[in-house]
Chains A and B, each alone.
Chain A
């Protein structure tokens, strides 16, 4: 065995790709865990098809998982990858365009059968026809090596076949010198009841590592040193998991039981799954018969005094709009989480998009304003859903939380906060009979009292019909309606006093401000850092509060010559910014149902600066 050379890298992007049944999401997740524990900063992008088990070998059945990790700050999962692991020809064909020129591609030779080449639409074998000449290609017969490793275990061909992802994982662990223990431990726990399968996976994982160590084809091993992250205890977290944790935290900090009314929908379902596990926190999850029952059930629970939430994605939000209007009218706290996906209609359920912003802001009949918040990163989902709950309770209003598929399934290392670092959420439950009216107003917030059924002397009726100011009785008088419409709008406007001013990253004034919201944070941050390094006058501000906007937004905008708003939609935030602040902001809009690429934003920055 020859001594391998070692190469030090600041950051690397790897993409695992195979059939949707090949276990690529699992492989990626395990690699992520090991990388997180090793101490790199990282960002991930699972990219999988809507079909659960699409026919094997087809282009539309390809499932991918991309991870970027580094010894420096990592804010995006990478525009392009350095290493592509392709388990079959379809995976190669779908993902090759994301591989950097000169990048490494590791193919499973066993997957390159005549049949699979044909299914992938290759006229000739790309491994033989020279079409991959600009890449470094490593052909490894992962299928066969896996089978050899397991031949004495008497396992079915199917079981053997399903273990091969661990061979690929073992090879990558070796190549990037990752700790294997977390995965070994995971396999032992996961397959405790089927020890022969567990044993097979362990063997294959180690065989992959040993193959890297002994084979002549790999001459280099890479080293990516731990990143300089702030001190503390860390875990890896996905956006959806962070939403679940954030809601539980809000429940604990408010002393209210948590109720989730939800209907399964991609990519929001994981929040329901996650919360359903936490019965020990007294969490009540209701998988309703439809989206409407999900939210109206939550409204009922809110009337009863619970911290109520509903989770969905675009098509579900459309169905919930009438009920959000009801929550606006009855003025009950409610957290509505929309995990945006590619639309319209069923669209691209497993992909990401930011195209529900205008629906969140305006998509209801009647004048029905609600506060809207949006997290910037997967871990930020924790803080922003907590914030949504705080505002909902304090202002007695539904609050919309806008995440997206990329934040939901993407992950990043998260410095775990102590529960004592989180603020308490004060809850005023009305018990005083004297002077009680259901539509009394708090002078400061304009919130109405939360009087819970079961309280003697506070019996009252609420509903969707217009309410008389103070008494809450049904009322059709023109002046009262006008007053109430203005009052509900002002209540939401007053939230502005309760949210932090917008922070600018970079100079406080200059040539160009990039104004973003939601999951484009990492890509914008990366692009701005690149341009600033080149000496360009570019700053970045990211909106986490979309209604109302932070009070200093106008001021910030007026300090820059140009304003650029990159979004994964046709220009929704930019439209609002232009109309509200009368600035000639321009958009950068790409709607591929994928995260924006920082290099694309950089190009647009050049364009804007050159005028």
Chain B
């Protein structure tokens, strides 16, 4: 009889954690001013609200600046190899569905060397959370362009400008049919906390892209969307069942003209909020979410942040456990002697 691993572990009595409880004894070694600090802080702020014992959390990362993350969390952690965090996390979650698993990755880690694992994890829909720190640059290797660097970007490895068309991580994850897809900003702690919490609550794979500033190799890449002066006019916050309104004066909206999102003014009497696209993160059809994700490709359109999609689909490890339970209910729990003696047998006397 197999003893479950859960029986061998001891969990804590329910104690309310504080952010400090989640800080490990290792000092973060990111560059001063790096956006990673904020993401770490917001995760440490949100986790206590979830009511999960600390020892049930596992943070798994690949390689890159962001992938140092697990060392700074006083939980279980695994700093893996480049690109493979999602695969390590998948095996861990299959073996132990009782654990709360987070994948911390970057644009190079998740979308270049780990692109295959990323899309397959999205479609498989294990109950784990992926936070992608997107800084549109390779930081740890000191400044080469990444798969999200903008076309024409001048970096150490593209002195004449990048000729690679970048991935849009939200579009990619929607294409891979992830059931939860969101975007937030390192410099918007409130919004980031909200989205982290929602990602944690989602049953299935949650994908969260965070625009993260690399102040050493790609400083200001997202300032249009994160800084006070420009943010309101360049960001539209997606809120479920609400029309897409944005602007410093809340005076602009997004209206669908056929399949094309267009900005319309709300104060000149021609359009009202009733003409605007109303966000539906629960829509079973990903088409509108895809149109929203694709807004990044049109200059002049605000950049959407928030939850693009949050739907339910069968969860991989649930199905795995169901198959095992069904087999054991039907055939009984496996017996080794019966297995070895199965099939055609004979005696030599």
Judge if B110 is at the interface, Cβ distance under 8 Å: no
Query: With A256-B2, A455-B55, A464-B81 as given contacts, are A305 and B95 in contact (CB-CB < 8 Å)?
Result: yes
Assess the A296–B323 pair: CB atoms within 8 A: no
Judge if B328 is at the interface, Cβ distance under 8 Å: yes
Assess the A303–B78 pair: CB atoms within 8 A: yes
Assess the B339–A462 pair: CB atoms within 8 A: no
Assess the B344–A33 pair: CB atoms within 8 A: yes
Assess the B333–A233 pair: CB atoms within 8 A: no
Query: With A259-B95, A459-B74 as given contacts, are A452 and B80 in contact (CB-CB < 8 Å)?
Result: no
| Cα-based distance from A462 to B73 in the complex (angstroms) | 12
Query: With A249-B336, A252-B336, A280-B327 as given contacts, are A322 and B81 in contact (CB-CB < 8 Å)?
Result: yes
Assess the A36–B344 pair: CB atoms within 8 A: yes
Nearest Cβ distance between residue B26 and chain A, in whole angstroms? 7
Judge if B274 is at the interface, Cβ distance under 8 Å: no
| Cα-based distance from A474 to B336 in the complex (angstroms) | 43
A interface majority secondary structure: mixed
Q: Give which listed residue, B11, B55, B326, B334, contacts A248 with CB less than 8 A.
A: B334
Of B85-93, B234-242, B255-263, the one touching chain A: B85-93
Assess the B324–A279 pair: CB atoms within 8 A: yes
Query: With A322-B81, A416-B341 as given contacts, are A431 and B8 in contact (CB-CB < 8 Å)?
Result: yes
Complex contacts, A474 vs chain B, CB 8 Å: 26, 71
Complex contacts, B204 vs chain A, CB 8 Å: none
Judge if A299 is at the interface, Cβ distance under 8 Å: yes
For window 251-303 of B, CB contacts with A under 8 Å fall at: none
| Cα-based distance from A98 to B204 in the complex (angstroms) | 57
| Cα-based distance from A605 to B77 in the complex (angstroms) | 56
Encode contact with A along B231-251: 1 for CB under 8 Å, 0 otherwise: 000000000000000000000
Assess the B336–A462 pair: CB atoms within 8 A: no
Judge if B56 is at the interface, Cβ distance under 8 Å: yes
Judge if A384 is at the interface, Cβ distance under 8 Å: no
Encode contact with B along A449-492: 1 for CB under 8 Å, 0 otherwise: 00011111111111111000000011000000000000000000
Query: With A304-B99, A417-B340, A473-B26 as given contacts, are A251 and B2 in contact (CB-CB < 8 Å)?
Result: yes
Judge if A278 is at the interface, Cβ distance under 8 Å: yes
Of A18-26, A115-123, A281-289, the one touching chain B: A281-289
Complex contacts, B141 vs chain A, CB 8 Å: none
Assess the A456–B327 pair: CB atoms within 8 A: no
Nearest CB to that of B4 among chain A residues? A257
Nearest CB to that of A463 among chain B residues? B79
Nearest CB to that of B324 among chain A residues? A279
B interface majority secondary structure: mixed
Judge if A52 is at the interface, Cβ distance under 8 Å: no
Assess the B333–A301 pair: CB atoms within 8 A: no
Judge if B120 is at the interface, Cβ distance under 8 Å: yes
Complex contacts, A234 vs chain B, CB 8 Å: 345-348
Nearest Cβ distance between residue A278 and chain B, in whole angstroms? 6
Q: Give which listed residue, A248, A278, A301, A431, contacts B91 with CB less than 8 A.
A: A301
Assess the A461–B55 pair: CB atoms within 8 A: no
Assess the B94–A286 pair: CB atoms within 8 A: yes
Judge if B229 is at the interface, Cβ distance under 8 Å: no
For window 1-60 of B, CB contacts with A under 8 Å fall at: 1-6, 8-12, 24, 26, 53-56, 58, 60
Nearest CB to that of B347 among chain A residues? A233
Assess the B5–A306 pair: CB atoms within 8 A: yes
Judge if A510 is at the interface, Cβ distance under 8 Å: no
Query: With A284-B94, A416-B340, A474-B71 as given contacts, are A454 and B78 in contact (CB-CB < 8 Å)?
Result: no
| Cα-based distance from A257 to B324 in the complex (angstroms) | 12
Assess the A326–B80 pair: CB atoms within 8 A: yes
Assess the B76–A460 pair: CB atoms within 8 A: yes
Nearest Cβ distance between residue B341 and chain A, in whole angstroms? 6
Complex contacts, B346 vs chain A, CB 8 Å: 36-37, 39, 233-235
Of A224-232, A390-398, A524-532, the one touching chain B: A224-232
Judge if A1 is at the interface, Cβ distance under 8 Å: no
Assess the A235–B75 pair: CB atoms within 8 A: no
Assess the A300–B345 pair: CB atoms within 8 A: no
Assess the B345–A416 pair: CB atoms within 8 A: yes
Encode contact with A along B82-107: 1 for CB under 8 Å, 0 otherwise: 00100111111111101100000000
Q: Give which listed residue, B328, B339, B341, contacts A282 with CB less than 8 A.
A: B328
Max chain A C-beta neighbours (<10 A), residue from B12, B75, B95? B95
Nearest Cβ distance between residue A449 and chain B, in whole angstroms? 13
Judge if B198 is at the interface, Cβ distance under 8 Å: no
- Chain B count of residues within 8 A CB distance of the other chain: 71
Assess the A305–B12 pair: CB atoms within 8 A: no
Assess the B11–A456 pair: CB atoms within 8 A: yes
Nearest CB to that of B84 among chain A residues? A296
| Cα-based distance from A571 to B172 in the complex (angstroms) | 48
Query: With A235-B345, A301-B92, A323-B84 as given contacts, are A458 and B117 in contact (CB-CB < 8 Å)?
Result: no
Assess the B334–A297 pair: CB atoms within 8 A: no
Assess the A323–B90 pair: CB atoms within 8 A: no
| Cα-based distance from A263 to B345 in the complex (angstroms) | 32
Nearest Cβ distance between residue B79 and chain A, in whole angstroms? 3
| Cα-based distance from A15 to B20 in the complex (angstroms) | 72
Query: With A252-B336, A289-B120, A431-B10 as given contacts, are A301 and B348 in contact (CB-CB < 8 Å)?
Result: no
Complex contacts, B326 vs chain A, CB 8 Å: 279
For window 125-157 of A, CB contacts with B under 8 Å fall at: none
Assess the B91–A299 pair: CB atoms within 8 A: yes
Complex contacts, B343 vs chain A, CB 8 Å: 235-236
Judge if A595 is at the interface, Cβ distance under 8 Å: no
Judge if A255 is at the interface, Cβ distance under 8 Å: yes
| Cα-based distance from A226 to B348 in the complex (angstroms) | 9
Complex contacts, A455 vs chain B, CB 8 Å: 8-10, 55
Encode contact with A along B208-223: 1 for CB under 8 Å, 0 otherwise: 0000000000000000
For window 361-401 of A, CB contacts with B under 8 Å fall at: none
Name 5 extra pairs, CB < 8 A, besides A39-B346, A249-B340, A252-B336: A280-B324, A282-B334, A296-B87, A322-B81, A459-B54
- Nearest 4 pairs of A and B residues by beta carbon: A463-B79, A297-B91, A300-B91, A281-B334
A-B contact pairs, 28 of them (CB 8 A): A235-B344, A245-B339, A251-B2, A252-B336, A255-B2, A256-B2, A280-B324, A282-B328, A286-B91, A286-B94, A288-B90, A292-B84, A292-B87, A297-B90, A299-B88, A300-B78, A300-B90, A301-B91, A303-B78, A306-B96, A308-B95, A453-B96, A454-B5, A454-B98, A455-B10, A456-B11, A456-B53, A460-B77
Enumerate chain A interface residues (CB-CB to B < 8 A): 33, 36-37, 39, 182, 226, 229-236, 245, 248-249, 251-252, 255-257, 259, 261, 278-282, 284, 286, 288-290, 292-293, 296-301, 303-306, 308, 322-323, 326, 330, 415-419, 429, 431, 452-465, 473-474
